[in-house]
Amino acid sequence: MSDVAGRVVVVTGAGSGIGRALVLALAARGARLAISDVDTTGLEETARRARELGAEVKADHLDVTQREKVLEYAEQVAAHFGAVHQVYNNAGIAYHGDLERTEFKDIERVMDVDFWGVVNGTKAFLPYLIASGDGHLINVSSLFGLLSIPGQAAYNSAKFAVRGFTEAVRQEMLVARHPVQVTCVHPGGIKTAIARNAAVPDGDDQATFAEFFDRKLARTTPEDAAKTILTGVRKNKARVLIGADAKLLDAFVRVAGPAYQRVVATVTSRVVPRG
């Protein structure tokens, strides 16, 4: 019997990438699934494949930046299934561009999806996780929630915020003795479409950045990422690092301290496409 068999699991950003891989892995383990995305075409494909694995699936269009919609969605999921046991706040977008050339609206968009989307999902579902008597909250940050790099000021801001938010929520659950485990996930380079869909400042070559990411940085498959996440969740880990790059760079930052910034600036100036 799987540890998630029969449990109600919520996954946002389920239309592709890590989200889809998580849904299919959970479906194979017997979870009952509430999945969502703004990409309805991708979401429908994920739902179809999960149902082929025998899973009960509720699939809904959801924009995680729309707080009232997320609150309504949480109520609908709880009413539909009768309980909520696990929530994976996975939905996210990417942005690459130097701050000098980045518009305020671009920073706000990244923060709205990548940070406030996690906050909205956490606040909406936390009462149901507590009520389940055996809840687990999983928020997806990034390797860039562990270290900063040039060109990622907006994304770093959101992912560092997710990390701090999630770690604080974990501590609050411990202090209050609520029956909710909390895990923060930090993927490294994952072979998904996130870089190809990333926004860039006007005039920058998005294709060049996407090609560099896919060819040089994306080393881990979504399926391997999902497997690592589910293992960490089963073990109630506070932090899950995905990929050798995430583990190596996390260790580097711990050892180097603030000096890592100068090293990273030097390396990225030589290898990362600019503009």
CATH number at residue 168: 3.40.50.720
Q: Give residue 112's pLDDT.
A: 98
Residue type at position 210: A
Yes or no: say if 260 and 252 are a contact pair by the CB < 8 Å rule. yes
Q: Give residue 269's pLDDT.
A: 79
Q: Which helix (H) or strand (E) holds 239?
A: strand 239-242
Q: Which helix (H) or strand (E) holds 57?
A: strand 57-61
pTM: 0.90
What value does the CA radius of gyration of the chain take, rounded to a whole number of Å? 18
Evaluate whether residue 93 is within a structural domain.
Answer: yes
Q: How many CB atoms lie within 10 A of CB 16?
A: 20
* 260 given a catalytic annotation: no
Name the active-site residue from 88, 95, 155, 260.
155
Q: Give residue 192's pLDDT.
A: 52
Specify the DSSP class assigned to residue 220: B
Evaluate whether residue 107 is within a structural domain.
Answer: yes
Evaluate whether residue 1 is within a structural domain.
Answer: no
Evaluate whether residue 275 is within a structural domain.
Answer: no
Q: Give residue 1's pLDDT.
A: 35
Determine the Cα–Cα distance for residues 78 and 92; give it in Å rounded to an integer: 23
Beta strands in 12-133 (DSSP E): 32-37, 57-61, 86-89
Evaluate whether residue 150 is within a structural domain.
Answer: yes
pLDDT in tens, the chain (275 residues): 368 999 999 999 999 999 999 999 999 999 999 999 999 999 999 999 999 999 999 999 999 999 999 999 999 999 999 999 999 999 999 999 999 999 999 999 999 999 999 999 999 999 999 999 999 999 999 999 999 999 999 999 999 999 999 999 999 999 999 999 999 999 998 865 444 455 545 555 444 444 444 445 557 899 999 999 999 999 999 999 999 999 999 999 999 999 999 999 998 877 665 55
Q: Give residue 213's pLDDT.
A: 40
230: domain range? Answer: 8-270
Q: Give residue 106's pLDDT.
A: 96
Determine the Cα–Cα distance for residues 2 and 82; give it in Å rounded to an integer: 20
Evaluate whether residue 220 is within a structural domain.
Answer: yes
Q: Give residue 200's pLDDT.
A: 47
Q: Give residue 274's pLDDT.
A: 57
Evaluate whether residue 153 is within a structural domain.
Answer: yes
Yes or no: say if 89 and 12 are a contact pair by the CB < 8 Å rule. yes
Evaluate whether residue 91 is within a structural domain.
Answer: yes
Q: Give residue 87's pLDDT.
A: 98
Yes or no: say if 243 and 212 are a contact pair by the CB < 8 Å rule. no
Domain tally for the chain? Answer: 1
